[in-house]
Amino acid sequence: MPEFCGIELDHPVVNASGTYDAIAARRVFGDELFGDFPFSAFVSKTITPEARAGNEPRRIWETPAGMINSIGLPNKGLDGFLAEDLPQLAELPVPLIVSAMATNREDFSRMVAGVAARDEVAAIELNVSCPNVHSGLIVGEQPGETEALLEALRPLTGKPLIVKLTPNVANPEAVAVAAEEGGADAVSLINTLKASALDPATGKPAIAAGHGGLSGPAVRPIALQQLRAVRAAVEIPLVGMGGISSGADAAEFIAAGATLVAVGTESFRDPQAGSRIAKELETEMSRVPARVQALHLE
Ligand code: RRO
């Protein structure tokens, strides 16, 4: 049973924020969903202070071994989330981690205070890395801004604060160190990599917003390298993600120092992928001692 920031979990596989709509899944699968819920904790889709409609379609485009998205944060806003979504998410059979973002410290503080006040919330993920919204300041690209944000938010709650890192910087480890120094309890990585595709039928950008974020198996080696760099730089626990689609992939991230792994794009192909990957990971982990022994015998 892994322990993450004081939260006991059944296994190390959670979802990547925004890649699994648990409220829709409950509507489709009913209470059967709870019998084999695919994740050991649920991370909700990022919310913002005010409601947003999200970007114009097309929002998703498949690429070799991955996909590009520019969803643009559709959500009900803080008050709508607390009133309508949170009570439904609280019924899930696993701890709830709420993902939040804002474009300035005052709004971020309002979000964290509002979310943290609810007993149903186990932890808060601070999304400082969405590639698809325009804000004057992308906090997560600048270590100084990240540290100052954490220093403002840390006194507001005793609940774990997880900082979601962007991969779109030269040194994600510098941002991770800043998050740790500001008082973060954990970091999660990676968010999606800035990417574009043209629709061959029109010669125009395939995504209406013009560009988006790349995810899926194509990004896995980049995610793994960034995880290793961050692991070497900070002491706090890591949630590793980026193209994980099997237990063997998950085991790689854990071997590189992740406490938890998150499944994202693979859940679009198979909504039960989280359960499969958790089972495969258990088998992989039971093989590790044999592998280590083999190395020692060589
Ligand atoms: O909603 C999105 O377009 C989105 C978000 Br908030 C994010 O953090 N990462 C991403 O790839 N898409």
pLDDT bucket at 136, cuts 50 / 70 / 90: very low
Predicted local confidence at residue 137, as pLDDT: 57
> In whole numbers, what is the pLDDT of the chain averaged over residues?
95
Whether residue 130 lies in the annotated active site = yes
75 pocket-lining for ligand 1 (C-beta < 6 Å):
no
pLDDT tens, residue by residue, 229-265:
999 999 999 999 999 999 999 999 999 999 999 999 9
d(CA 69, CA 147): 28
d(CA 32, CA 35): 5
Buried b (16+ CB within 10 A) or exposed e, 13-40: bbbbbbbbebeebbeeeeeebeeebbbb
pLDDT tens, residue by residue, 31-55:
999 999 999 999 999 999 999 999 9
Please check the confidence at residue 294 and state whether its pLDDT lies above 60: no
69 pocket-lining for ligand 1 (C-beta < 6 Å):
yes
Predicted local confidence at residue 288, as pLDDT: 67
Q: What percent of the chain has pLDDT over 90?
A: 92
Please check the confidence at residue 297 and state whether its pLDDT lies above 60: no
Task: Find the 127 Cα to ligand 1 centroid distance in Å.
Answer: 9
Cβ neighbors of 41 (< 8 A, separation 6 or more) are 4, 7, 9, 14, 94, 95, 96, 97, 122, 123, 260
pLDDT tens, residue by residue, 86-110:
999 999 999 999 999 999 999 999 9
pLDDT tens, residue by residue, 199-208:
999 999 999 9
Predicted local confidence at residue 1, as pLDDT: 83
Predicted local confidence at residue 86, as pLDDT: 98
pLDDT bucket at 290, cuts 50 / 70 / 90: low
Lowest-pLDDT choice from 11-20, 28-37, 130-139: 130-139
Phi, psi of 231 (to 5 degrees): -60, -40
Please check the confidence at residue 59 and state whether its pLDDT lies above 70: yes
Predicted local confidence at residue 10, as pLDDT: 98
Predicted local confidence at residue 135, as pLDDT: 61
Task: Find the 55 Cα to ligand 1 centroid distance in Å.
Answer: 11
Catalytic residue (one of 22, 33, 130, 179) = 130
99 pocket-lining for ligand 1 (C-beta < 6 Å):
no
Closest residue to atom 8 of ligand 1, CA basis: 130
Please check the confidence at residue 296 and state whether its pLDDT lies above 50: no
71 pocket-lining for ligand 1 (C-beta < 6 Å):
yes
